[in-house]
Structure 1
Amino acid sequence: MPDTARPAAPAPAAAAHVLVVDDDADLLRLLTMRLQAAGHRVTAVDSAEAALAAVALERPQLVLSDVRLPGRDGLALFDELRRSHPALPVILLTAHGTIPDAVEATARGVFSYLTKPFDGKELADKVRQALALSAPPAESPAGAAGAWRAAIVSRSARMAELLGEARMVARSDASVLIRGESGTGKELLAQAIHRASPRAEQPFVAVNCGAIPEALLESELFGHVKGAFTGAIAHHRGLFQAAHGGSLFLDEIGDMPPALQVKLLRVLQERTVRPVGAREPVPVDVRILSATHRDLDAALADGSFREDLYYRLNVVTLHLPPLAERREDIPLLANHFLVRLAKKYGKRVNGFAPEALKLLSTAPWPGNVRQLHNVVEQVSALATGALIPLALVERALRVPSVEVLTYAEARQRFERDYLIGLLKMTDGHVADAARLADRNRTEFYRLLQKHGLTPGAFRGESPSGDTGGEPLSPIGDA
């Protein structure tokens, strides 16, 4: 066997590139045949020196090396690769006599090892796992054909099937109900459906029905006219009118109050909205996309969600799988987030250590993609080297994931929540709320204006019998 890299037969462009290192010509030939049969492109060499030259010439995605090699052995090869290419996964082939060395190397960062004679299925499984962990950062699907779903990072068969259904239903004007656990990316899927639809050039408007106080939700959705209630100092277009011609995404629709469900049903039936305080309805043309993590069947059974509204919204149902059911996407997502977050924090981070990526791929992820993003943000903010180490990922997973905010953002959020609490406590009476806050009324009014809060919206019933207020910023699902 020559000691220079010799590429095997051509493979499809999408095939993974595997470097195989063994001085046993028969075993090298067998490994090459098996890997090629699995669709991989193989470079076969018979020494550590030739392997280093091959890696320098054309970096593979995985190295499969025997422990015992002439000259520099497989462990020394791993050490050298770890120094120069720390994110490159290595699988060691070992005879029984060198198992302790392979176990020790695994503790130092080798992805895994196989004992000779190895089972073909075990080889295929370990190669597939290692290649999943060495996935490059995600790129947007090429060309206009993939632009509609560019924000959804995935290569799993489960997601491919879901996206196929989503694109098919996008061409119609049917209402779509997206089901899935919190943090799975329901709003991203809704945006993708909008971009693939004939309404793509028109507005996409999102509102989280569970994040807006009930007293404000009607005004937020349908708008209000000047003088409709105390504090309504100008006409306000609701989100239905803002989305005219496009799509309106109603997130957490299962949290909508029963009284608003009746009004929403009327809007869907009549294709008109009546702003709070208005006498005449306003025509609207919107496509409704909605989402929930709640069990709507149970909500129907206990009467907290209207059956007629359910069937209006649920013309087509799409189920977003939890992250634990699409684990092959985890390395892709983690690297995708890392690229963006490293820029945010000004860090020169190249990727994850193989053992760190392995841990991410096997973690339970009850918070789904949102939790993964938060963990990657934590390790990005704390990274000190070019590679995210295992210890940093372990630390982030032990600590409950929290949303990372700047001090200014956290202060802004606290201030707004504090003001809402005071207005609720005082039934919208500014003098009482300002007294509790130890602020004069002028300053208190400025704070309310800064956060878009209307005192009249917190007074139960307005003189006209309507409730409402100035709009709050809609909050979408991550």
Structure 2
Amino acid sequence: MPKLLVVDDEPIICHSFRRVFTDPAVEVVTAGSVAEGWARFERDRPDVVVLDLQLPDGSGLDLFERVRAADPRRPVVFITAHGTSDTAIEAMKRGAFDYLTKPLDLEQVSGLLGRAFDAARLMHEPAALPDDPAADRIVGRTPVVQEMCKLIGRLAPQDANVLILGESGTGKELVARALYQHSTRADRPFLAINCAALPDALVESELFGHERGAFTGADHRRVGRFEQCGDGTILLDEIGDMPLPAQAKILRLLQDQTFERVGGSQPIRTRVRVLAATNQDLEQLIAAGRFRGDLYYRLKVATVRVPPLRDRRADIPELAHHFLFRHARAAGRDVRDFSPEALDLLQRHDWPGNVRQLQNEVQMAVYQAAGQTVFPADLPSLGPAGGPFPPAPDVLAGALPTSRDAPPDLIGSIETYLRDGGNDVYARVMAVVERELLTRALRHTNGHQGQASELLGINRSTLRLKLRDLGILPPG
């Protein structure tokens, strides 16, 4: 059973974490001081530690150093009050997993600790999988992947900024993490920012911070990501979606290593290393007036191109088994292999969503499989011959289908999940439904994400995040 240790002298804070983890599958233990926290750590051996910086008998940093010395792979999340962000960043440089700011946002707490538990599990995996954390390992032996890894090895120790190009789902963030982990800044913060997920009006504030009164609602000074990161590494993911005014500030930062907060006039110096990634053709965006040519040429000095999965088909068996072992272990299911026919089906598919789509497909197959082997029938979304879904019906033509009109694969999935038991049946069924719904909505709108988001009643940023998570791309 996963165990969480919360070290904080405020009872309301400890109670907040118990509210987040009402599920008996996670055990929450608490302590109110450095001495008590160390005693509980030695006795309970928690998977994740949450630690307040200010404790009655000393600094949380002191306890952090003792925890790190005992087990450097144990994720530690700091809690910091307003005005102590510098100390929290120092903790990040020393190896803390992340930090939370008081007052606590329970939704943020839940998401962050979920990632921390995942990291703890991956970093303490049995030796059956490689020693490196599964989420941070590039899998593949084809020449194109090996050449890419050699280039990463040459670029990582340099302080040069790097542009990472590749289709959605190819593993651009994985390449960025490899560049970071093998750099001289590996002991300093790494922040990944999805530019496409930020509203245009908030991009500059998020990246560079703002002064009090800079705009309506700016009632206090905010430290931006670049300032927070110090001399660490920042990944600007989906940089092709960055608004032009923010691009101008990024260009100045790359040229002069300075920037200003929104509404400020005081230059702030930085030594941050910038990695940028995109799945778009930046030269086409330049021609359309949507991306600055001078920023593109500043970024492209060092470029890593991540190959699509269709160009490295020989890696598919190794990737599929890698994801099979990982998700079978996480789900507690004894699924060990693919039938030759299933592997052939995987290798013949075009994978428009690339490695991310393959991972999601294998994860679904883990739940579909009735025994220890995955068969073609356990890969229904690939179609009978590895092809696409059948044509989508016109969802505007009439009433919504009733449950008895549901696709047989969905009914079979529900029956399988209910038969297998567990406490996440709802989430697993919703994942299947969401994949089918978004795929058909995009097909219905001929791949137009704006029309699809309007049809679905969700904003475009939410749709894009879901498409990335599910490995779905618009047709064509």
TM-score, normalised relative to structure 2: 0.53
Please state how far the C-alpha of 1:209 moved relative to its aligned partner. 1.1
Please state how far the C-alpha of 1:234 moved relative to its aligned partner. 3.6
Q: Report whether the alignment pairs 1:313 with 2:299.
A: yes
CA–CA distance in structure 2, aligned partners of residues 351 and 337 of structure 1: 11
Aligned residues: 277
CA–CA distance in structure 2, aligned partners of residues 371 and 400 of structure 1: 14
Letter in 2 for 1:249: L
Letter in 2 for 1:355: E
Q: Report whether the alignment pairs 1:388 with 2:355.
A: no
Q: Which one of 317, 341, 350 corresponds to residue 364 of structure 1?
A: 350
> Which residue of the partner structure matches residue 225 of structure 1?
211
| Regions of 4+ moved over 6 Å | 146-149, 408-411, 475-478
Q: Which one of 279, 283, 286 corresponds to residue 300 of structure 1?
A: 286
Please state how far the C-alpha of 1:383 moved relative to its aligned partner. 2.1
Please state how far the C-alpha of 1:150 moved relative to its aligned partner. 5.3
Specify whether residues 239 and 476 from structure 1 end up closer, same or farther in structure 2 by C-alpha distance, changes over 3 A only.
Answer: farther
Specify whether residues 213 and 356 from structure 1 end up closer, same or farther in structure 2 by C-alpha distance, changes over 3 A only.
Answer: same
**Deviation per residue, 1:239-297 (Å, 9 max, x gap):** 11222211111111111111211121122222122122333222111111111111112
Partner SS state of residue 196, structure 2: coil
> Which residue of the partner structure matches residue 188 of structure 2?
202
RMSD in angstroms over aligned alpha carbons? 3.4
Please state how far the C-alpha of 1:206 moved relative to its aligned partner. 0.7
**Deviation per residue, 1:203-259 (Å, 9 max, x gap):** 111111112110111111111233433333443221112222111111111111112
The answer on whether the counterparts of 2:360 and 2:470 sit within 8 Å (CA) in structure 1 is no
CA–CA distance in structure 2, aligned partners of residues 367 and 395 of structure 1: 13
> Which residue of the partner structure matches residue 360 of structure 2?
374
CA–CA distance in structure 1, aligned partners of residues 470 and 346 of structure 2: 22
Please state how far the C-alpha of 1:310 moved relative to its aligned partner. 0.9
Please state how far the C-alpha of 1:394 moved relative to its aligned partner. 4.0
> Which residue of the partner structure matches residue 186 of structure 1?
172
Q: Which one of 259, 277, 280 corresponds to residue 291 of structure 1?
A: 277
Larger RCO (CA under 8 A, 6+ residues apart): 1
Q: Which one of 309, 312, 317 corresponds to residue 326 of structure 1?
A: 312
CA–CA distance in structure 2, aligned partners of residues 228 and 409 of structure 1: 45
After superposition, residues 71-86 of structure 1 pair within 5 angstroms as none
CA–CA distance in structure 2, aligned partners of residues 268 and 172 of structure 1: 15
Q: Which one of 140, 155, 166 corresponds to residue 169 of structure 1?
A: 155
TM-score, normalised relative to structure 1: 0.53
Q: Report whether the alignment pairs 1:151 with 2:137.
A: yes
The answer on whether the counterparts of 2:209 and 2:225 sit within 8 Å (CA) in structure 1 is yes
Partner SS state of residue 250, structure 1: strand
> Which residue of the partner structure matches residue 11 of structure 1?
none
> Unpaired runs of 5+ in structure 2?
1-126, 391-409, 411-423, 435-464, 472-476
Q: Report whether the alignment pairs 1:272 with 2:254.
A: no
CA–CA distance in structure 2, aligned partners of residues 409 and 351 of structure 1: 23
CA–CA distance in structure 2, aligned partners of residues 218 and 405 of structure 1: 40
CA–CA distance in structure 2, aligned partners of residues 334 and 199 of structure 1: 32
| Larger Cα-atom Rg | 1
> Unpaired runs of 5+ in structure 1?
1-136, 415-471
Please state how far the C-alpha of 1:399 moved relative to its aligned partner. 6.7
**Deviation per residue, 1:61-80 (Å, 9 max, x gap):** xxxxxxxxxxxxxxxxxxxx
The answer on whether the counterparts of 2:357 and 2:470 sit within 8 Å (CA) in structure 1 is no
Q: Report whether the alignment pairs 1:352 with 2:338.
A: yes
Specify whether residues 400 and 230 from structure 1 end up closer, same or farther in structure 2 by C-alpha distance, changes over 3 A only.
Answer: farther
Specify whether residues 410 and 384 from structure 1 end up closer, same or farther in structure 2 by C-alpha distance, changes over 3 A only.
Answer: closer
The percentage of counterpart residues that share the same residue type is: 45
CA–CA distance in structure 2, aligned partners of residues 410 and 216 of structure 1: 31
After superposition, residues 437-452 of structure 1 pair within 5 angstroms as none
> Which residue of the partner structure matches residue 90 of structure 1?
none
Please state how far the C-alpha of 1:340 moved relative to its aligned partner. 1.6
Partner SS state of residue 210, structure 1: helix
